[in-house]
Amino acid sequence: MNRGVMTLPQLNIYRHDRGTRALVTLAGEIDPVTAPQVRTALERCLYDGITTIDVDLTTVGCCDSSGLRVFLDASRHAAEAQASLRLHHPSGQTARLLADTGSDRVLL
């Protein structure tokens, strides 16, 4: 039996607003455990009246399909609210996920 320390995936979320524009910087991994945190942060932007959401992925090591779903849903919700959401600086892995699913045309 392994009695070591179990570590949970961690994601840090930073938000900087300038008027109706928000820069949301994510740092860590986006997976089924952390994706709900991303969803909440992006929904909060729209709730707060933000019309342009820029998501900086520079320090995101990995994003799986649960993260992709969050970004696509948030993009759709933003469009419905006459707002926009764009991803910036995805890692190679995330850029491939976006390209392979055709989501790069919507999110980048």
A 10 A CB-CB count for 48 gives: 11
Dist. CA 31–CA 34, nearest whole Å? 5
Per-residue pLDDT of the chain (108 residues; tens, 9 = 90+): 456 665 666 899 999 999 999 999 999 999 999 999 999 999 999 999 999 999 999 999 999 999 999 999 999 999 999 999 999 999 999 999 999 999 999 999
Question: Do 103 and 71 meet the contact criterion of CB atoms below 8 Å apart?
Answer: yes
pTM (predicted TM-score): 0.91
- Angstrom distances, CA of residue 79 to CA of 10, 16, 22, 57, 95: 29, 21, 15, 21, 22
Helix (H) or strand (E) holding 43: helix 35-47
